[in-house]
Amino acid sequence: MADLPDLYLIADMAPDLVAALEQRFTVHRGDPPATTRAICGGGSSVVDAALIERLPALEIIAINGVGYDGVDLDAAKARGIRVTNTPDVLTDDVADLAIGLWLAVERRIAANDTIVRGGGWNVPLARRASGRKIGIFGLGRIGQAIARRAESFGGDVLYTARSEKPVAWPFVPDIAALADVCDVLILAAPGGADTREIVDAAVLKKLGPGGVLINVARGSLVDQLALVAALVSGDIAGAGIDVFADEPEVPDLLKTMSQVVLSPHQGSATVETRGAMAALVLANLDAHLAGKPLPSAVL
């Protein structure tokens, strides 16, 4: 049997996916050999120019996630290296989680669960979720799925993105203006240089003392120190956070706050979606090895 091509695995993957990769490749987890033809990573993986340069035989970077902000696309493009991700199959789950985090914050679901588990019963009053003004930052696949869910709660839905979309929801020119008019700011845009810490102290101040921030995008979108400060001072009312600046590190102060719901970057973490993502990773790698068009190519 011919030698299998070399693949560098740079993130933890489900055992089924690893087994499927091992049927197709010699999988390396430590030091990748110069003969490495493929990298497989997750949405938070870093594939920078230095790594790409170290691997002269590299042909494809397959990301098991939709976000690829850790991949140096310019360096990959310069070498003609293909980059794939797993869009669409995770959209509904991430949107469901955004709505779940929002409801959990407004209705104190996690905080009151803690009270009941501690033997308590009389709990502080929560705040109504229905009828609130929802602002969505990034109206792509996930942002639109969030908007469709959010409008069923009877409030207004508004959004901002790089460009206005042909949708019924009103477009607001930038995130500061969006934070100013909405009660709930939900982040659903990619990470990267353009969005780094776009939610800063000024944006949080505009969101205001009744405002809630929900982040299912990337931790890099938020100035995390400013967020903690805004929650401490009451500049905003609460937050639901699935993604953090320095995962898996979570600021200790956030863990003490009952107005905050913490989530371990689990937007796509359902049995169904992780299975579909794994199938798409393999479909991309198989298509590449067979010289066929890639099902979901970024590059």
Indicate the pairing of strand 36-42 with strand 82-84.
unpaired
User: Other CB atoms closer than 10 Å to residue 24's CB: what's the count?
Assistant: 15
Q: Single out the segment in contact with ligand NAP by CB under 6 A; choices: 52-60, 103-111, 122-130, 185-193.
A: 185-193
- 37/274 with CB nearer ligand NAP: 274
Distance of CA 48 to the CA centre of its chain: 19
Q: Is 194 in the site for ligand NAP (CB under 6 A)?
A: yes
* Structure-block tokens of residue 135: 């602002």
Catalytic site positions: 218, 247, 265
Binding residue for ligand NAP, selected from 15, 162, 248, 255, defined by CB under 6 A = 162
Binding mask 222-261 for ligand NAP (x = CB under 6 A): --------------------xx------------------
The count of C-alpha atoms lying within 13 angstroms of the C-alpha of 124, restricted to the half-sphere facing its C-beta, is 12
Residues 92-121 that bind ligand NAP (CB under 6 A): 94
Shortest reach from residue 137's CB to ligand NAP, in Å: 6
**Identified binder of ligand NAP from the candidate list 5, 26, 35, 87, rule CB under 6 A:** 87
- Considering only 14, 75, 161, 245, the residue that binds ligand NAP (CB under 6 A) is 161
- HEC secondary structure over 104-130: HHHCCHHHHHHHHHCCCCCCCCCCCCC
Residues 125-144 that bind ligand NAP (CB under 6 A): 138-143
| Number of C-beta neighbours around residue 239 at 10 A | 26
Among 276, 207, 194, CA closest to 235: 207
Query: For ligand NAP, which residue of 44, 224, 268, 284 counts as binding (CB under 6 A)?
Result: 268
Which 6-65 residues touch ligand NAP, going by CB under 6 A? Answer: none
What are the DSSP calls for 186-251, one per residue? EE-S--SGGGTT-B-HHHHHHH-TT-EEEE-S-GGGB-HHHHHHHHHHTSSSEEEES--TBTTB--
Contact between 159 and 148 under an 8 Å Cβ cutoff? The reply is no
Q: How far is the CB of 94 from ligand NAP (least distance, A)?
A: 4
* Count of residues touching ligand NAP (by CB under 6 A): 28
**Non-local CB neighbours of 270 within 8 Å, separated by 6+ positions:** 93
The residue ranges that bind ligand NAP (CB under 6 A) are 66-67, 87, 90, 94, 138-143, 161-163, 188-191, 194-195, 216-218, 242-243, 265, 267-268
